[in-house]
Homo-oligomer: A and B are copies of this chain.
Amino acid sequence: MDFAQTKSLFHLPEGVIYLDGNSLGPLPKAAAARVAQTVTEEWGEMLITGWNKAQWMAQPARLGDRIGRLIGAPEGTVVLGDTLSIKVYQALASALEMRPGRKVILSDSGNFPTDLYMAEELIRSLDKGHELRVVAPEDVAASITDEIAVTMLTEVDYRTGRLHDMAGLTSKVHAAGALALWDLAHSAGALPVDVTGAGADFAVGCTYKYLNSGPGGPAFIYVAPDHADVVRPALSGWLGHEAPFAFDLDYRPGRGIERMRVGTPPVLQMAALEAAMDVWDRADIREVRARSIELTELFVALVEESCPELVLASPRDPARRGSQITFRHPEGYAVMQALIARGVIGDFRAPDNMRFGFTPLYIDEDDVRDGVRILADVMQNQLWDRPDYRTRARVT
């Protein structure tokens, strides 16, 4: 595939090297027109009839199928909606109900906190003696016992990019009689995922990172076909009902993945996602992965050469990490501010992680070389050592 061509499909601001697509992807140029069309031609002209005429009602499933192709999910097994936190909750609640005799949710300390928070409060509200067991990422495999109801793991660690062995762990989970929920927030669009091959029971992810749907784009959920007609979603909104427009007083779950829908879907956000997925339709995720490895390898080599005080926090073996590289520095926050002021946008995660995302659809070797040159300048000349760079603002 032609990465120069995909790069031309994104709006990248003048003078910016954007290494934060792992947090919020940039604007696909076509998204601006697509959203405008949805606003003026659909909402503006069709009004309420847009739900049918513009197929807004079918969008969550249609987009689900498009994302499914990137994560190895068959048609009709993925649906869009809500936020990742809500989708984690639905999957976890369903999983616990499928394993009533077991009381432990197993997760790891590298999981994104919202997953842990949702689990914590689910357990509290169920009040049935469940336990959220959080172990170190490297101890997950050894902690899969027959006490476990469900594992809740994020494939790619948001801090370091460390990659869990999804297929290997899922197989161990199943051997122990448990279920596997995978959070693909930092995987979908970053590397090939095969939920079917790995045998994942549930998977969730967000669309505003590597998939480039824009700020606040909806989440997605995958439920394995064997479970989809069995699970009873804890969050049972009207659009997950078998016949939403019958307005029955009693809930009957919809067919398959449709039951995981909750409320009215965010049509404007989905319009942006549609345009973003048009770019993905031109991409081969295996080629994206190969290119990502080239870029991260180059970045690591150049940074280690020119910034010896930075410590690599990501796995050195590219096969064991996602599409981001994290370097540690005690003044990482200030360094990142200095970098951003110079047009190299990465981000910072407490306590000392500087994250850099590599997204071949729009980041190339020149960006990597230029970015490292500026980073080296910041480090060698201590350009980060300014009070205003040390003052922490609220960043995502």
Contacts and interface: CB of A to CB of B under 8 A. Distances in A.
Interface in A145-204: none
A371 interface: no
A83 B237 contact: yes
A17 B121 CA distance: 47
Contact of A50 (B82, B93, B215, B246): B215
A23 B350 CA distance: 44
Given A84-B263, A113-B249, A27 B43 contact: yes
Contact of A114 (B122, B215, B263, B345): B263
Nearest to A109: B249
A47 B118 CA distance: 28
Nearest to A159: B247
A233 to B, nearest CB: 7
B395 A245 contact: yes
A51 B349 contact: no
Given A57-B394, A395-B52, A237 B32 contact: no
A319 interface: no
A345 B208 contact: no
A368 interface: no
Nearest to A50: B215
A310 interface: no
Copies of this polypeptide in the complex: 2
A39 B214 contact: yes
B264 A120 contact: no
Given A20-B47, A47-B13, A82 B86 contact: yes
Contacts of A233: 121
A49 B394 CA distance: 10
A273 B72 CA distance: 36
A24 B52 CA distance: 13
Contacts of A16: 47
Contacts of A267: 214-216
A31 to B, nearest CB: 7
B20 A394 contact: no
A6 interface: no
A85 B237 contact: yes
Contacts of A121: 232-236, 251
Given A49-B395, A215-B267, A216-B267, 20 more contacts: A11-B44, A18-B47, A27-B40, A27-B43, A32-B39, A42-B215, A51-B394, A52-B393, A56-B216, A86-B262, A89-B235, A97-B125, A113-B238, A113-B248, A116-B249, A121-B233, A121-B236, A134-B249, A245-B394, A247-B350
